[in-house]
Structure 1
Amino acid sequence: MIQDPAPTAVTVWHRHLTSGWMLATGVVSAAGLLVLAAVDRPHRAIALSLLTVSAAFLITGAIRVTVSRDGVTAGSSLLPFLRRRFPLDRIKHASARWTRPTEIGGWGYRWNAGLSAISLREGNALWLTLTNGSQFVITIDDADTAAQLANQLLARGH
């Protein structure tokens, strides 16, 4: 008789964060631009092209973050295929600290030389120091637990 191997423990940390003002800005601006495009033919192309700004607010206005044996994944709750994934072998260290959007380039998804971020608010943030020397920051509740788990997984070599 073959016995099943002992179950493998799975440790996962998962959180969602929503920015009401970003989502509201996206919805209201999209509605206004669509109305403008419908009633103002000369400015239709401009109004429709500005919908990309509304989409950016909606896409980054609600995020989900996961820490697991697969690494750290952060992405849009609205369009889950828009995400950043950092396998553990790309992470050197994780930490958590209080962060202001102004210190990481502003609100939303930010790209800066050596530092990229997803920032929806001031507050607790998960800071990933990557093996290439750059940093990735995600403002998220309970970032301390996320950092501890990431560091434990790194120490175990998972």
Structure 2
Amino acid sequence: MSGRGNGNRGARWSAAAWSAGVLAALVALPLMAGDRLPGRVATHWGGGGRPNGSMPLWAVPLFPAALWVVLLLVLAVTFRRAAGPLRPWAGATLLFTGVLLTGAQMSVVQANLDRTDWTEAAGIGPSVALTLGAAVLAGLLGLLAGRRGVVSTPAPAGGPVLDVPVGERFVWLSWTTNPWLQLTAAVLGLAAAGAAIAAAGGLIGAPWAVVAPLVLVAGVMFGCSSVQARVTPKGLEVAFGPAGWPVRRWPIQAIESARVEQRTPAQVGGWGYRLSGLGTTVMLRRGECLVIHPRTGVEFAVSVDDAERGAALLNTLAARRTTD
């Protein structure tokens, strides 16, 4: 698999932004509401929905933050020593635990808000169920996104022209990310999440006029910040975003030829998914692009590493289809 280095750098940027955002939320939520919380804060509830345990206010931000930091250290050590198949679980654990701790902190703050004593705190049953469901969903999405980088069949070795025996199984895969687009999307997403959490906790009025555009822009930017190109005997598949959706596909019979071309953002009109006189270009980094010339329609280019091998493989498959 090529493009692995870019994919790992993008994953590290995303993990760092997520880790910092969760840590900031865990600390900021009780501090922002400090003047509206009792001196001791209810942090545990019994079977009847009544609070039966508490912490001093100063410990409320420190305890979950310490748990989060310890988890980050454990995952960092595990990630360094783990083989590839274990790595998707690290991302899933980060997402699951981050959502769980942030949701729990939000529930604790909201239950104690404007109470004079921790024993008067409201119940948190519904919010706990909602938080747990969101955490499980986030973990599953993280696992799905991580597993897209695992390839079970090796890419064929070779130069510009590939001699692929008939009937042999193969796959060529290249993954490219733009860490700056990911970081910008993460910052916008964290800003939207912080405003939404604060509003849901009753700390501020609901700023949906600000939150909604931030979420939309962050989602679009994050979805356009990574791309995966995949060549199989069926043709070319280009998937966008960490979850590999949406996907564009070209069957091999629809591809006339493929080549490698050097392109820059200035040539195609900027970063991301661009339409220009050169056709359609997915521009995540300047330089080498895999370009296909379809039998109908405009050319399509994607900026991925090892584009020469991908183009050679597509040309071999297209020529074989023509002679069959």
Shorter-chain TM range is 0.7 to 0.9
Runs of 4+ in 1 over 6 A off after TM superposition: none
- Cα distance in 2 between the residues matched to 1:140 and 1:155: 23
The residue that corresponds to 1:121 in the other structure is 285
Contact in 1 for aligned 2:272/2:283 (Cα 8 Å): yes
Q: Which of 188, 192, 195 is the aligned partner of 1:33? A: 192
The residue that corresponds to 1:20 in the other structure is 179
- Cα distance in 2 between the residues matched to 1:112 and 1:86: 20
Aligned residue runs from structure 1 range 125-140, under 5 A: 125-140=289-304
Instruction: Report Cα offsets for 1:32-70 as digits up to 9, x if no partner.
Output: 133345456474223313311111121121221101111
The alignment's TM-score, normalised by the length of structure 1, stands at 0.85
The residue that corresponds to 2:168 in the other structure is 9
Show structure 1 runs of 5+ residues with no match: 1-6
- Cα distance in 2 between the residues matched to 1:114 and 1:86: 18
Which of the two has greater helix per residue? 2
Instruction: Report Cα offsets for 1:115-153 as digits up to 9, x if no partner.
Output: 112110101100111111411110000111111100000
> Which shifted more, 76-85 or 66-75?
76-85
- Cα distance in 2 between the residues matched to 1:20 and 1:155: 37
Contact in 1 for aligned 2:268/2:278 (Cα 8 Å): no
Superposed CA RMSD:
2.1
The residue that corresponds to 1:104 in the other structure is 268
The residue that corresponds to 2:232 in the other structure is 68
Which SS does the other structure have where 1:106 is aligned? coil
Matched-pair identity in %: 26
Which SS does the other structure have where 2:194 is aligned? helix
The residue that corresponds to 2:313 in the other structure is 149
Contact in 1 for aligned 2:261/2:291 (Cα 8 Å): yes
Letter of the 2:179 partner, please give it: G
* Greater RCO structure (CA 8 Å; 6+ sep): 1
- Cα distance in 2 between the residues matched to 1:56 and 1:111: 16
Tell me how far 1:71 sits from its aligned partner. Answer: 0.9
